[in-house]
Chains A and B, each alone.
Chain A
Amino acid sequence: MELPNKEFLAPGHRGCAGCGATIGVRLALKVLGENTVAISATGCVEVITTPYPETSWEIPWMHVAFENASAVASGVEAALKAQGKTDTNVVVFGGDGGTADIGLQSLSGAMEREHNLIYICYDNEAYMNTGIQRSGATPYGASTTTSPHGKESFGENKPKKNMPMIMAAHGVPYVATASISYPEDLMKKVKKAAEIEGPAYIHLQQPCTTGWGYNPAQTIELGRLAVETGSWILYEIEEGEFKVTYKPIQRRMVKEYLDAQKRFKHLTDIEKEKIQSHVDAICTELKI
């Protein structure tokens, strides 16, 4: 896939070294191009890209609050329609907390109403902006500051909320998962999301150096490990048709992925085995 040289997310933002979220935003905007309006939910991306009076956004951008990005985008989309600008992309960037937790209602409403917008959830699997608290998207076994491991706890004890399937159940015409470590796959999906009539939802996994606990130089590698171990599966659901878009040639052990991160360091072999079996069950079903 040919990459446009033009950048729509300017450097100089306040993201951490090795920030995965901004890689995702940058790649998505390269596909969407200049005829795009972006809406952010409160969260990492919003805070680090707009330290007033600076902004990293080279396209029109708006933020109002945490839980309402989809509602704000609904209003933007309606206003653009009223102005006759129906060819303008409206893209929303919300973190996993802003999407799976506090923003779920407004997202559900916007999707059900079939606004023509692209919702991209940048999922770093916890509230990273406030300092690593568990969200509905935090995976089983992860230690966060509000699901800490300890004598009586192995960390997060609930499975990750399945956002893409919740979106698919809304009848959203295009739903996909993606990873920042598979840029071509991600960008193809963003392109499809933009081309499709009506709403689209992309759930983008992005490693977070501070929240996951790894060397900032390894962000891309961590994203790959998630996919290569089957811990994160790349797929799309187009008009109800489910398709895995990337299959590892030889699935690697989940332990490799877990051991590379501080948030899973406390897990015993028994717990790691349990996670492996869970991943195996899903991958077997999907023939990965």
Chain B
Amino acid sequence: MVTKVMSANQAIAEAVKLANPEVIPVYPITPQTTISEYLAKYVADGDLDSEYIMVESEHSAISASLGASGTGVRVFTATSSQGLALMHEISFAAAGLRLPVVMADANRALSAPLSIWNDQQDSISERDAGWIQIYAEDGQEALDSILMAYRISEDKNVLLPSMVCIDGFILTHTVDPVNIPAKEDVNKFLPKYKPDHAYLDTKKPMSIGTFTDPSYYMDARYDMELAMERSQEIIAKAHTEFSEIFGRDYDFVEKYRSEDADVIIVAMGSICSTIKDVVDELRDAGEKVGLVRVRVFRPFPKTQIYEALKGASKIGVIDKNVCFSIGGVLATEIRSNTGLDVSGFIVGLGGRDIKPSDIKEIMEKTKNPTKQTQWIGLKKEEH
């Protein structure tokens, strides 16, 4: 166990080294690229014994991942934005084939206009693909979440792929102290992947990815729904065991000074660090405000979110994505799944900076609830 100062991208690469996937197909895209580079270097230096495939597109990165996972080995890939959108078709196949691929997504805006900067539109747009989605707040959580993602995805009660999302540049290219767990501890937490549902073995031929007619398709999709529901329990168990072995606590949602709060802000990812500072400042000034950070977005932790929010009189939900004519996706899902009234705010699209003053503005606006989604940080008031 050692603590080093590193970016979340490097933290993810360190996690991958510890998880030791047999095959790593990747394709560079800003701001994910350095994950691919770190992994290439680990392999080149003999620090990681993996088949590293530098494929010719993200579509092939995820396709090769499915091929390798279907052969029965652990795989890792990483992407961002346009790359994730290009993977869209195969993302659905990964979940449908029940292949426990683990992928990191460096959250970045989708074109057009072309932007390399952060928002969460890319992964949010994959919410129906059947992947478990975890949004990390910092580099440490990024590392830990990769290890937990393997544990969860490869569990026989789940067998769905996982996406660990980290905010582009804000996390991928800034450094923080990160504790790197010992390999022996990781081995305890993460046993070798030994599938008995899908593996290409000439000793026991099986056909993977067959053609189905209407008498089978729907049931296969329902099985995925059941697996996603079951994953809640597996995720909870992973959190508990992770805490026991590594001493760091995680939950579906993180409650930050929200227990007695009148005003609660809900958000995902790195923005939560800014919100925590604002909460501290306002708490010092006597305001009863708090934060609920949604860490696991799929499966959607409806009960945990409801329990965390039900005591508040005013709730504001921050989204770094937009579902046009509807609003932010997290706000919409919280409304429809908890029945609570929440005010929705859209911020930070395409890397628009989010300042503590913006968070304070959101808190003020939350005190006067409206059903109208509010865009914060636009340049012109007349928008």
B-binding residues in A (CB < 8 A): 34-37, 39, 46-47, 50-53, 55, 57-65, 67-68, 70-83, 85, 88, 105-106, 108-109, 112-113
Contact A36 B202 (CB under 8 A): yes
Tell me the complex Cα distance, A39–B71, Å: 11
Nearest-neighbor residue (CB-CB) of A88 within chain B: B202
State whether B56 touches A72 (Cβ < 8 A): no
B73 touches A83 (CB 8 A): yes
Q: Which residues of A contact B60 (CB under 8 A)?
A: 68, 70-71, 74, 105-106, 109
**Chain B residues positioned under 8 Å from A78 (CB to CB):** 22-23, 25, 51, 53, 64, 67-68
Contact flag A76-B67 (CB < 8 Å), given A50-B211, A83-B22, A88-B202: yes
CB-CB nearest 5 A-B residue pairs: A75-B67, A109-B56, A75-B64, A79-B71, A71-B60
Do A62 and B53 touch across chains, with their CB atoms under 8 A apart? no
Q: In the complex, which residues of chain A have a beta carbon less than 8 angstroms from the beta carbon of B68?
A: 75-76, 78-79, 82
Give, as a whole number of angstroms, the nearest-CB distance from A15 to chain B.
Answer: 13
The complex places the Cα of A57 from the Cα of B63 at a distance, in Å, of: 21
Q: Which of B89, B202, B210 contacts A60 (CB 8 A)?
A: B202
Verify if B325 is at the interface (C-beta below 8 Å from A): no
Q: Quote the shortest CB–CB distance from A174 to chain B (angstroms).
A: 21
How near does chain A come to B222, taking the closest CB pair, in angstroms? 15
Say yes or no: A65-B93 contact (C-beta < 8 A), given A39-B67, A71-B59, A83-B22. Answer: yes
Nearest opposing residue in chain B for A73, CB measure: B67
- The distance from the CB of A226 to the nearest CB of chain B, in whole angstroms, is 29
Residues of A within 8 A of B50 (CB): 82
Q: Do B210 and A75 touch across chains, with their CB atoms under 8 A apart? A: no
Q: How far is the CA of A124 from the CA of B51 in the complex (A)?
A: 35
B contact residues, total (Cβ < 8 Å): 43
Q: Let me know if B22 and A55 touch, CB within 8 A.
A: no
User: Once the chains bind, are B211 and A76 in contact (CB under 8 Å)?
Assistant: no
Q: List 12 A-B contacts (CB under 8 A).
A: A37-B202, A50-B207, A52-B210, A57-B205, A65-B93, A74-B67, A78-B23, A78-B51, A79-B68, A79-B200, A83-B72, A112-B56
Q: How far is the CA of A80 from the CA of B68 in the complex (A)?
A: 8
> For residue A37, which residues in chain B have a CB less than 8 angstroms away from its CB?
71, 200, 202
The reply to whether B63 and A72 form a contact with Cβ atoms under 8 Å apart is yes
Secondary structure dominating the interface of A: mixed
- Chain B residues near A67 (CB-CB < 8 A): 59
Measured CA separation A268–B40 after assembly (Å): 59
Closest to A39 in B: B67
B202–A35 touching, CB < 8 Å:
yes
Q: Is B46 close to A, CB under 8 A?
A: no
Q: Is the CB of A47 within 8 A of B211?
A: yes
Decide yes or no whether B57 CB sits under 8 A from chain A: yes
Query: Which residues of A sit under 8 angstroms from B18, Cβ to Cβ?
Result: none
Q: Which residue of A lies closest to B25 (CB)?
A: A75
| Shortest Cβ gap from B167 to chain A (Å) | 28
Which chain B residues lie closer than 8 Å to A61 at the CB level? 200, 205-208
- Does B149 interact with chain A (Cβ within 8 Å)? no
Query: Do A79 and B211 touch (CB < 8 A)?
Result: no
Q: Which residues of A contact B23 (CB under 8 A)?
A: 75, 78-79, 82
Q: B324 near A: Cβ within 8 Å?
A: no
Interface residues of B in 76-99 (CB under 8 A from A): 89-90, 93, 97
Query: Nearest Cβ distance between residue A143 and chain B, in whole angstroms?
Result: 28
Q: Are A52 and B55 in contact (CB under 8 A)?
A: no
Residues of B within 8 A of A83 (CB): 22, 71-73
Q: Within the assembled complex, what's the spacing in Å between the Cα atoms of A105 and B93?
A: 19
Report which of B75, B202, B211 forms a contact with A34, defined as CB distance below 8 A: B202
Q: Of the candidates A47, A53, A55, A59, which one forms a contact with B202 in the assembled complex, judged by CB atoms under 8 Å apart? A: A59
Report the bound CA distance from A58 to B208 in whole Å. Answer: 12
For B89, give its contact among A65, A75, A108 (CB under 8 Å): A65
Q: How many A-B residue pairs have CB under 8 A?
A: 160
Considering the chains assembled together, what is the distance between the CA atoms of A217 and B299 in angstroms? Answer: 55
Given the known interface contacts A62-B200, A78-B23, A106-B60, the answer about A72 and B205 at a Cβ–Cβ threshold of 8 Å is: no
CB distance from A33 to the nearest CB of B (A): 9
**Residues 94-131 of chain B: 1 if any A CB is under 8 Å from the residue's CB, otherwise 0?**
00010000000000000000000000000000000000
CB within 8 Å for A46 and B211 given contacts A79-B68, A105-B57: yes
User: Which residues of chain A are near B67, meaning CB under 8 Å?
Assistant: 39, 62, 64, 71-79
In the complex, the answer to whether A82 meets B63 with C-beta atoms within 8 Å is: no
Contact B66–A60 (Cβ < 8 Å) = no
Tell me the complex Cα distance, A47–B202, Å.
22
Chain A residues with CB under 8 A of B69 = 75, 79
Chain B residues whose C-beta falls within 8 Å of the C-beta of A53 in the assembled complex: 210, 216
A57 nearest in chain B by CB position = B207
When A47-B211, A112-B56 are in contact, do A75 and B65 touch as well, CB less than 8 Å?
yes
- Within 8 Å CB of B73, what residues of A? 79, 82-83
B339 at the interface (CB under 8 A from A): no
B213 beta carbon closer than 8 Å to chain A: yes
Q: How far apart are the CA atoms of A108 and B60 in the complex, in Å?
A: 11
The chain B residue sitting closest to A34, CB to CB, is: B202
Chain B's nearest CB lies how many Å from the CB of A203?
Answer: 21
Q: In the complex, what residues of B have CB within 8 A of residue A57's CB?
A: 205, 207
- With a CB–CB cut-off of 8 A, which chain B residues contact A109? 55-57, 60
Shortest CB-to-CB span from A120 to chain B, Å, is 17
Determine if B25 and A64 form an interchain contact, defined as CB atoms under 8 angstroms apart: no
List the B residue with the shortest CB-CB distance to A112: B56
B66 touching A64 by the CB < 8 A rule? yes
Instruction: Verify if B70 is at the interface (C-beta below 8 Å from A).
Output: yes
Which of B22, B65, B211 has the most chain A CB atoms inside 10 A of its CB?
A: B211
Whole-angstrom distance between the Cβ of A1 and the nearest chain B Cβ: 23
Q: Which residues of B contact A58 (CB under 8 A)?
A: 205
**Contact across chains for B63 and A79 when beta carbons are under 8 A apart:** no
Q: B247 to chain A: which residues have CB within 8 Å?
A: none
Q: Nearest-CB distance from A134 to chain B (Å)?
A: 23
Judge whether B284 is part of the interface by a CB distance below 8 angstroms. no
Query: Which residues of B are found within 8 Å of A76, using beta-carbon distances?
Result: 67-68, 70-71, 200
In the assembled complex, the CB of A94 is this many whole angstroms from the nearest CB of chain B, namely 13
